[in-house]
């Protein structure tokens, strides 16, 4: 099973990815997480680091290489969920070519829809636990005492607007690309995380299955 989650920053891709991967027993592949890990370990090129922190998108070849290598690992043999990739048509083309080479294909592309005013509010209050990777929200899902919290540089208000604009500009062509292939499933991302997961399951034709 190969699933793709698309949606603007703050739509809940990371939150849903964790819930869906636990249900389906497949690994989550998040280019954002992989890039932040490279940043922490000091292996991310300085020019990429600057682009990331200011809220811009990295060049396609930088993220395609990451996906090429990660999807070749043994835990991806039974499928995987992509979160935050592809974001552009060249990335989607590269993914298609990669999957054709593996004799597999995408089952569905889930688009999480959330109005912009809510996205800003979600991003500015997002915090992540450095150790567990768990995603929190200072108001909706407050972190427990003792969590080692990280506030992403690109979740500062200055970078948030730029990221939302970049998403709109660069994905304007991506969604029609998947729509034409009949793979796009639009899901309302407003509601509790569990409600959103149920909508995703229905969109995948598996209402009520697993996890209850």
140 interacts with ligand ADP by CB under 6 A:
yes
Provide the CA 189 distance to its chain's centre, in angstroms. 13
When the beta carbons of 100 and 190 are compared against ligand ADP, the nearer one is 190
85 interacts with ligand ADP by CB under 6 A:
yes
* Full strand arrangement of the beta sheet holding 28-30: 28-30, 80-83, 2-6, 108-113, 184-188
Asked if 83 contacts 5 with a C-beta cutoff of 8 angstroms, the reply is yes
Two tokens at 52? 């990331």
Question: Which one is catalytic: 39, 152, 162, 186?
Answer: 152
192 interacts with ligand ADP by CB under 6 A:
yes
Rounded to 5 degrees, φ, ψ at 87 are -115, -10
115 interacts with ligand ADP by CB under 6 A:
no
Question: Which one is catalytic: 18, 126, 127, 199?
Answer: 126
* 116 labelled catalytic: no
92 interacts with ligand ADP by CB under 6 A:
no
Task: Identify residues 119-138 at the interface with ligand ADP (CB under 6 A).
Answer: 122, 125-126, 135-137
* 13 labelled catalytic: yes
Is position 152 annotated in a ligand binding site?
yes
DSSP 8-state secondary structure symbol assigned to residue 114: -
Distance CA 91, CA 70 (A): 15
User: Residue ranges for the binding site for ATP?
Assistant: 10-15, 126, 135-136, 191
Binding site for ligand ADP (CB under 6 A): 7, 9-15, 31-32, 35, 51-52, 55-58, 63, 84-85, 87, 91, 122, 125-126, 135-137, 140-141, 154, 163, 191-193, 196
């Amino acid at each position: 099973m190969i699933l793709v989650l698309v949606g603007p920053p703050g739509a809940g891709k990371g939150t849903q990815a964790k819930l869906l991967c636990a249900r389906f027993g497949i690994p989550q592949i998040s280019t954002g997480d992989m890039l932040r890990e490279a940043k922490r370990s000091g292996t991310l090129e300085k020019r990429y680091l600057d682009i990331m922190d200011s809220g811009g998108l990295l060049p396609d070849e930088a993220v395609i290489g990451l996906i090429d290598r990660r999807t070749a690992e043994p835990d991806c043999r039974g499928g995987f969920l992509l979160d935050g990739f592809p974001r552009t048509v060249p990335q989607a083309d590269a993914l298609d070519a990669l999957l054709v080479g593996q004799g597999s294909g995408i089952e569905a592309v889930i688009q999480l829809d959330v109005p912009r005013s809510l996205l800003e509010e979600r991003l500015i209050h997002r915090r992540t636990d450095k150790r567990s990777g768990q995603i929190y929200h200072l108001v909706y899902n407050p972190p427990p005492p003792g969590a080692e919290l990280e506030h992403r540089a690109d979740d500062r208000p200055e970078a948030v607007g730029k990221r939302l604009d970049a998403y709109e500009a660069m994905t304007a062509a991506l969604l029609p690309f998947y729509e034409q292939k009949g793979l796009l499933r639009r899901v309302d991302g407003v509601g509790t995380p569990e409600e959103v997961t149920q909508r995703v399951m229905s969109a995948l034709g598996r209402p009520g299955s697993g996890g209850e």
